[in-house]
Amino acid sequence: MFNLIVQPESSDVDMNCRICGNSENNREHTVREMFFGTRETFRYLECGVCGTLQIHAVPDLRRYYRPKYYSFQLVRNDKTGKRSVRNYAARFIRRRAADWFCRSWKTTGHLSDIFFRLLLKPIGRVVVGYPDYLIQSSLDLGITRQSAILDVGAGAGATLEALRHFGFRRLTGVDPFLERDIVRENGIRLLKQSIDDLEGQFDLILANHSLEHTSEPVQTLKAMHRLLKPGHYAIIRMPVLSRAWRLFGVNWVQLDAPRHLFLFTVTTFSRLARDSGFEVKEISYDSTAFQFWGSQQYLRDIPLMDDRSHFTNPRGSSFTREEIASFEDEANRLNARAEGDQAVFYLCKK
């Protein structure tokens, strides 16, 4: 299927890994900005010991978060029910569904499980948009619709809007790249600040593809631990170094220079989580066809926001529907083998 295997260009680099401190056998890679397609180059270091890929020097990132970047986040994270009918029946069903997803779904045994599976088909359209990672874990996440939920790196608030849609009420987001604090009419609070300055206690903390954007990931993990109630979960979704990185090297679409400052192996990130006081309860993989078509476009010098990109122009891109479907199949196979290029970490505060 892939004859495009590219070994990343590399040379030795004289810099210590910011995660483990190692200075030996580190390699340097030159990576281009290809989301917008400015093609500026950035130096990244790959640690010879812990494997972490990290930007050499953090540039002034503000100009790399234009509105289009956040609308991209909206598309990627948000399959919300904005398309679904806004009526009381739908709202009632969504709230009951959220209650099921929170509790009975896993804990009340076979009867409700069968009942819900039967019900899921007719109400499927109405419950579209409930975050998959809150359903697909076998863990009891210990939340209800009254839970206080924090989204770290909330951006435009897509994830919180999705949760609000299902009747969750105590929703807070933090993001230092927001223009200002925003309190929406529906009660969602979006705070322009670092998590380090935040106070309070939360029942669930989410970081949806945001930790890779922070210059101090370990400090952020510790802040999450501080803000979480004991026995509760932080759920962290992010790209991980796996097969797509080995296959595409510096053209791997989820490297996303210069916005992604750190990219971890699953092993190293799990160790950092444990060092921050968490128990790693579960890891799942939710990579998609994006890793293949996005990276192949970068190999062909086509930025994500280009007119020829499958992202902006799916019908006009060079990929056929069959190719995209086969990429999706391949992503599912990789996920099943724990080799997908993005993972979901379920971290419990002991």
Taking CB under 5 A as the criterion, the residue among 8, 13, 17, 172 binding Zn ion is 17
Instruction: Please tell me whether residue 55 binds Zn ion under the rule CB under 5 A.
Output: no
Q: Please name the residue that has the structure tokens 């949760």.
A: 163
CB of 155: closest distance to Zn ion in angstroms?
A: 28
Token pair listed for 153? 């790196």
Query: Strands (DSSP E) along the chain, which ranges?
Result: 11-12, 27-32, 41-46, 53-55, 148-152, 170-174, 182-183, 189-191, 202-208, 228-239, 262-263, 278-285, 342-349
Q: Which stretch binds Zn ion (CB under 5 A): 14-22, 56-64, 121-129, 322-330?
A: 14-22
All residues at 6 or more sequence positions from 122 whose CB lies less than 8 Å from its CB, including other chains? none
Tokens describing residue 112: 């409700």
Per DSSP, the three-state class of 207 is strand
Cβ closer to Zn ion: 97 or 241? 241
Q: Tell whether residue 22 is a contact of Zn ion (CB under 5 A).
A: yes
- Min dist CB 350 to Zn ion, Å, is 25
Q: Near Zn ion by CB under 5 A, which window of 46-54, 102-110, 187-195, 326-334?
A: 46-54
Query: Does 163 contact Zn ion by CB under 5 A?
Result: no
Q: Map residue 195 onto helix, strand or coil.
A: helix
Can residue 50 be called a binding residue for Zn ion (CB under 5 A)? yes
Nearer to Zn ion, 6 or 20 (CB): 20
Is residue 148 close enough to count as binding Zn ion by CB under 5 A?
A: no
Q: What is the 3-state secondary structure (H, E, C) of 223-285?
A: HHHHHEEEEEEEEEEEEECCHHHHHHHHHCHHHCCCCCCEEECHHHHHHHHHHCCEEEEEEEE
CB of 262 to Zn ion, least distance (A): 10
Binding test (CB under 5 A) with Zn ion, winner from 20, 74, 128, 182 = 20
Task: Calculate ∠ Cα 71-72-73, nearest 5°.
Answer: 90
Q: How many residues bind Zn ion (CB under 5 A)?
A: 8
Minimum separation from the CB atom of position 49 to Zn ion (A): 5
What gap in Å lies between CA 297 and CA 210, rounded to an integer? 23
**Least spacing, CB of residue 163 vs Zn ion, in Å:** 35
Work out how close the CB of 54 gets to Zn ion at its nearest, in angstroms, rounded to a whole number. Answer: 8
Cα–Cα dist 342/209, whole Å: 9
Q: Which residues bind Zn ion (CB under 5 A)?
A: 17, 19-20, 22, 47, 49-50, 52
